[in-house]
């Protein structure tokens, strides 16, 4: 299916685009963005209790749980497709969900999200072709979260891709 190949190619392209882009993870270490397809992975550790003291965190009691935390990340989610006619290309809408963590008291994590959005926009504004098979077409839409969720910050982008046409076979040719 072309949509799954598109998702794989876009995830690989984003990993390459952001290979020199680093943000903080929940432990405060500088890391690359995690790129996930369709959904976040299901955590395998037990849930962290609602109340955790600073001493417990400093002692490393919940390190195994925190390591499961996927921040920072981009989820490449195939949302929908459309084929207007039998001999036309397929349009696939892909939503990118961006999540970062910023524990700074300035509460400015949205800037990291906006930088990610800008970098993705620049990538497709300079070269709209993905993997020599898909074309990113306009419009590109983006949004930031509308509710406070400190220290987590979220945003999203909707990208539209045109796939190659499938030629109709003529049994009499």
Write down the domain spans for the chain. Answer: 2-162
Is the bond preceding residue 34 a cis peptide, omega within 30 degrees?
A: no
Q: Please name the residues in contact with 64: beta carbons below 8 A apart, sequence gap of 6 or more.
A: 45
Architecture of the domain spanning 2-162? 2-Layer Sandwich (3.30)
Whether 14 shows a pLDDT value over 60: the answer reads yes
Whether 103 shows a pLDDT value over 80: the answer reads yes
Six-digit token string for 52 = 């955790």
pTM metric for this prediction:
0.82
Contact between residue 95 and residue 77 where contact means Cβ atoms under 8 Å apart: yes
Whether 8 shows a pLDDT value over 70: the answer reads yes
Rounded CA-CA distance 144/121 in Å is 15
The most confident of the ranges 18-32, 37-51, 154-168 is 18-32
Among residues 109, 76, 106, the alpha carbon closest in space to that of 94 is found at 76
pLDDT value of position 172: 80
Q: C-alpha distances in angstroms, 38 versus 23, 51, 138, 145, 152?
A: 22, 31, 22, 19, 20
Is the bond preceding residue 72 a cis peptide, omega within 30 degrees?
A: yes
Q: Per residue in 136-151, pLDDT tens?
A: 999 999 999 999 999 9
Among residues 33, 27, 3, 4, the alpha carbon closest in space to that of 119 is found at 33
Q: What is the DSSP letter of 49?
A: P
């Amino acid at each position: 299916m072309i949509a799954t190949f598109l998702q794989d190619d876009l995830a690989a392209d984003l990993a390459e685009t952001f290979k020199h882009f680093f943000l903080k993870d929940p432990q405060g270490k500088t890391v690359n963005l995690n790129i996930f397809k369709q959904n976040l992975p299901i955590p395998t550790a037990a849930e962290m209790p609602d109340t955790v003291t600073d001493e417990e965190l400093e002692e490393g009691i919940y390190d195994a749980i925190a390591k499961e935390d996927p921040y920072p990340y981009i989820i490449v989610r195939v949302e929908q497709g459309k084929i207007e006619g039998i001999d036309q290309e397929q349009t696939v809408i892909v939503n990118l969900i961006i999540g970062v963590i910023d524990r700074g008291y300035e509460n400015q994590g949205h800037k990291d999200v906006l930088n990610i959005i800008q970098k993705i926009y620049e990538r497709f504004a300079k070269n709209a072709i993905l993997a020599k098979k898909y074309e990113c077409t306009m419009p590109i839409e983006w949004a930031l979260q509308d509710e406070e969720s400190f220290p987590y910050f979220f945003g999203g982008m909707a990208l539209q891709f045109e796939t190659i046409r499938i030629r109709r076979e003529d049994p009499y040719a």
